[in-house]
């Protein structure tokens, strides 16, 4: 268990915009930050971060909460993992009690595998830097590749001994379970023998965006036709090749800063470019490019520059990769290296400034790249040339931005010598075909969707829910504010009659709401709101103020999300940039006292109406009760007086 003092220090030190900024590209929007949702596919921002409230809200997926919740949702951390991650980021010492054997057994399968991959990374690193075999074989190989010690350390490179089960036996001695060693793929169990998968290889740990070890790549150092040069960890519940990019952890900050990501093929390409100062580079690790990998980059930038080896241009896989990037609404450029060069070898022969200039001058727009590759293939064959043109238009059809489409159509027309009208006609045919396919796929869901839509449109708004929600919102946002409230007190006039006279009281918003609810003996009907309200009272009694941080940190997840929804409800309107259209929404805090009074009065009127309807049911049941009629008159009179305060006409 992590000590309470450590948890409090973590929450006090952590900045939600800093932590989330490591994973999502955020842009300033007033006092908040906005960005694309990291949980759904979208092209317009619906993700909002509030530094003032230290919470975040994703309006597309409905997720939200504190900085810890984000790490739990995005990185699948457990609560303790998230706290430890933040403690490490902010240099906070973690105090915790030693886990018992029972607690260790309760660790999840995922966590057990992460522990093993972390141990393996350290083990392989130690082999490389401290053992004779590691230094003479593994380290000498990296030095031959001209890798510096700094970059070896930064990418956590290592070496696996050339023995059948050295790692497996050491891990078992340390107490790691064989079934988890097998599930991570580090150990192969065969005929009651434990064999190291990566024996005799230099090791490349594959890290998540947050720095967790997901798996490994291993390169054999001996030449053999029967043994694969590179092998990767098999897929598992922590490692999905299609969702991983090598180097993303080391590159993420530079990608955001440069607003561009270089995409290469191999581990050594990433490392050598990084060493040369081109740090915004990642690799697909030899796998075909996937949508998930592109979405990973899109969290950080909308711009990708693909670096191709001098002898790999024109491959069909390459061209398909470009279309996948375009489908994710990304901007893509392609840079072919000189013939016979790959990013690793090319970086070796250049200085940082030379690399930057080369990439800038030789990066082609995707349409020019496709033309240069496919036209050569078509030569003077009209049929092949027609296929080339159609291929280029198909790529353009993947783009969602209409302006970009038009620009690329004009460029394609200029390059290929085909009229824009013909290209637009071809584009329309492709889009029509795609549309029909989409309609066919969604047709089976149409009827059920229509029913749900109809039900939603006919469903009455739950007034009581909204009023109770508004009270919680006011307490969380303005509970500590001191405001002027107009109350009424009874006093005698000149003739000795009792009249209601207005009086101004200056009190905290919390005290005003608490006293009004207490006076009317009003209880929250919604269970979540009732629990949150009692937590607010508890917090106020302990601290003499309402602290959203302390409230959020002690609530179960479902209530934390409820509070986040309330606090960030109005922030979603900032996503639309009203001010750019000369629309300036009125700030909510311009008249807090009026907001409080109106909300309480509306709640009172609603409850009175409810009570009057109950009395109406009693009289309809032929209950002859003068007391009931008197109550009706009294409540009606009270409602009239309250409605006058709300400037209503009954």
Residue 625's pLDDT is: 56
φ, ψ at 48 (rounded to 5°): -125, 135
Contact 595, 639 (CB under 8 A): no
Question: Could you give the CA distance from residue 481 to residue 510 in angstroms, rounded to a whole number?
Answer: 8
Residue 340's pLDDT is: 83
Fold of 106-239: DNA primase DNAg catalytic core, N-terminal domain (3.90.980)
| Architecture in CATH for domain 4-89 | Alpha-Beta Complex (3.90)
pLDDT at 132 over 60: yes
Residue 198's pLDDT is: 96
Average pLDDT across the chain, whole number: 80
Q: Give 88-125 pLDDT, tens digit per residue.
A: 899 998 887 665 555 555 557 888 899 999 999 999 99
Provide mean pLDDT across the span 594-623: 69
Of the chain, the percentage scoring pLDDT greater than 90 comes to 27
Provide mean pLDDT across the span 1-14: 84
pLDDT at 458 over 50: no
Question: Could you give the CA distance from residue 624 to residue 618 in angstroms, rounded to a whole number?
Answer: 9
Provide mean pLDDT across the span 501-513: 81
> Which residues does residue 215 pair with via DSSP β-bridges, in sequence order?
206
Q: Give 519-543 pLDDT, tens digit per residue.
A: 766 778 888 888 888 888 888 877 7
Q: State the pLDDT confidence band at 175, using cuts at 50, 70 and 90.
A: very high
In the block, residue with structure tokens 């949150």: 532
Residue 17's pLDDT is: 93
Question: Could you give the CA distance from residue 386 to residue 389 in angstroms, rounded to a whole number?
Answer: 5
Residue burial 443-476, b: 16+ Cβ < 10 Å; e: rest: eeeeeeeeeeeeeeeeeeeeeeeebbbbbbbbbb
pLDDT at 131 over 70: yes
Provide mean pLDDT across the span 304-313: 76
Q: How many CB atoms within 10 Å of residue 648?
A: 12
CA dihedral for 207, 18, 23, 59, sign (positive or negative): positive
pLDDT at 584 over 50: no
The pair of structure tokens assigned to 389 is: 């043109």
Which of 73-77, 212-216, 597-601 has the highest mean predicted lDDT (pLDDT)? 212-216
Residue 457's pLDDT is: 36
pLDDT at 647 over 60: no
Of the chain, the percentage scoring pLDDT greater than 70 comes to 79
The domain spans of the chain are: 4-89, 106-239, 248-431, 463-554+586-605
Q: State the pLDDT confidence band at 641, using cuts at 50, 70 and 90.
A: low
Higher pLDDT, 472 or 401: 472
The pair of structure tokens assigned to 281 is: 């580079």
Q: State the pLDDT confidence band at 638, using cuts at 50, 70 and 90.
A: low
* Beta strand ranges found along 221-373 (DSSP E): 230-232, 261-264, 281-283, 303-308, 331-336, 363-365
Residue 107's pLDDT is: 57
Question: Could you give the CA distance from residue 60 to residue 54 in angstroms, rounded to a whole number?
Answer: 19
Question: Could you give the CA distance from residue 356 to residue 345 in angstroms, rounded to a whole number?
Answer: 15
Lowest mean pLDDT among 26-35, 136-145, 380-389, 468-477: 380-389
pLDDT at 442 over 50: no
Provide mean pLDDT across the span 397-423: 86
Q: Give 335-367 pLDDT, tens digit per residue.
A: 988 888 889 999 988 999 999 999 999 998 888
Provide mean pLDDT across the span 281-294: 85
Question: Could you give the CA distance from residue 2 to residue 591 in angstroms, rounded to a whole number?
Answer: 43
Instruction: Report which secondary-structure segment, H or E, holds 217.
Output: strand 213-220
Of the chain, the end-to-end C-alpha distance in Å amounts to 60
Class of domain 248-431: alpha beta
Closest among 318, 306, 315 to 364, alpha carbons compared: 306
Residue 260's pLDDT is: 93
Provide mean pLDDT across the span 198-222: 92
Question: Could you give the CA distance from residue 395 to residue 405 in angstroms, rounded to a whole number?
Answer: 10
Q: State the pLDDT confidence band at 546, using cuts at 50, 70 and 90.
A: confident
DSSP assignment letter at 243:
G
DSSP letters of 265-307?
SSHHHHHHHHHTT--SEEE-TTSPP-HHHHHHHHTT-SEEEEE
Instruction: Report which secondary-structure segment, H or E, holds 566.
Output: helix 557-567
């Amino acid at each position: 268990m992590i000590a309470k003092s450590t948890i409090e220090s973590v929450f006090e030190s952590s900045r939600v915009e800093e932590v989330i900024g490591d994973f999502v590209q955020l842009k300033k929007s007033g006092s908040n930050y906005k960005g694309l949702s990291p949980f759904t596919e979208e092209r317009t921002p619906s993700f909002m971060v509030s530094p003032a409230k230290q919470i975040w809200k994703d309006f597309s997926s409905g997720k939200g909460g504190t900085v810890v919740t984000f790490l739990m949702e995005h990185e699948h951390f457990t609560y303790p993992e998230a706290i430890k991650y933040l403690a490490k980021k902010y240099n906070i010492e973690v105090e915790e009690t030693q886990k018992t054997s029972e607690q260790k057994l309760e660790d999840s399968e995922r966590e057990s595998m992460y522990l093993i991959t972390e141990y393996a990374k350290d083990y392989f690193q130690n082999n490389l830097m401290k053992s004779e075999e590691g230094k003479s074989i593994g380290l000498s190989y990296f030095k031959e590749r001209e890798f510096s010690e700094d970059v070896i350390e930064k990418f956590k490179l290592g070496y696996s001994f050339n023995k059948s089960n050295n790692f497996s036996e050491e891990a078992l001695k340390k107490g790691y379970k064989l079934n988890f060693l097998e599930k991570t793929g580090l150990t192969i169990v065969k005929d009651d023998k434990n064999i190291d998968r990566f024996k005799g290889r230099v090791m490349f740990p594959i890290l998540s965006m947050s720095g967790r070890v997901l798996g490994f790549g291993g390169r054999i150092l001996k030449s053999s036709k029967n043994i694969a040069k590179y092998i990767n960890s098999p897929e598992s519940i922590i490692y999905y090749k299609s969702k991983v990019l090598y180097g993303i952890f080391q590159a993420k900050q530079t990608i955001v800063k440069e607003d561009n990501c270089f995409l290469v093929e191999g581990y050594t390409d990433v490392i050598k470019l990084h060493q040369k100062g081109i740090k915004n580079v990642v690799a697909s690790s030899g796998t075909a490019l996937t949508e998930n990998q592109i979405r990973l980059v899109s969290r950080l930038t909308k711009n990708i520059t693909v670096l191709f080896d001098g002898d790999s241009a024109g491959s069909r896989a390459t061209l398909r990769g470009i279309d996948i990037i375009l489908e994710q609404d990304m901007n893509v450029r392609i840079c072919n290296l000189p013939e016979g060069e790959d990013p690793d070898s090319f970086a070796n022969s250049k200085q940082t400034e030379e690399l930057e200039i080369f990439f800038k001058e030789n990066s082609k727009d995707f349409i020019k790249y496709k033309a240069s590759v496919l036209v050569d293939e078509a030569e003077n064959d009209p049929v092949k040339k027609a296929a080339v043109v159609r291929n280029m238009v198909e790529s353009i059809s993947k783009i969602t931005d209409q302006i970009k489409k038009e620009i690329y159509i004009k460029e394609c027309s200029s390059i290929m010598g085909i009229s824009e009208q013909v290209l637009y006609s071809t584009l329309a045919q492709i889009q029509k075909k795609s549309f029909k396919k989409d309609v066919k796929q969604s047709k089976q869901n149409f009827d059920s969707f229509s029913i749900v839509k109809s039900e939603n449109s006919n469903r009455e708004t739950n007034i009581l829910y909204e009023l109770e929600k508004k009270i919680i919102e006011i307490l969380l946002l303005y509970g500590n504010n001191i405001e002027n409230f107009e109350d009424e007190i009874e006093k005698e006039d000149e003739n000795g009659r009792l009249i209601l006279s207005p009086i101004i009281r200056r009190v905290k918003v919390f005290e005003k709401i608490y006293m009004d609810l207490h006076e009317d003996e009003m209880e929250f009907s919604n269970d979540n709101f009732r629990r949150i309200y009692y937590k607010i009272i508890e917090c106020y009694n302990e601290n003499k103020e309402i602290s959203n941080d302390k409230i959020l940190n002690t609530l179960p997840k479902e209530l934390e999300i409820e509070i986040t929804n309330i606090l960030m409800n109005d922030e979603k309107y900032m996503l639309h940039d009203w001010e750019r259209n000369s629309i300036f929404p009125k700030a909510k805090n311009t008249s807090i006292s009026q907001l409080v009074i109106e909300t309480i009065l509306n709640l009172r009127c609603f409850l009175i109406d409810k009570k009057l309807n109950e009395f109406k049911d009693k009289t309809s049941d032929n209950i002859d009760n003068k007391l009931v009629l008197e109550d009706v008159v009294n409540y009606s009179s009270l409602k009239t007086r309250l409605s006058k305060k709300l400037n209503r006409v009954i």
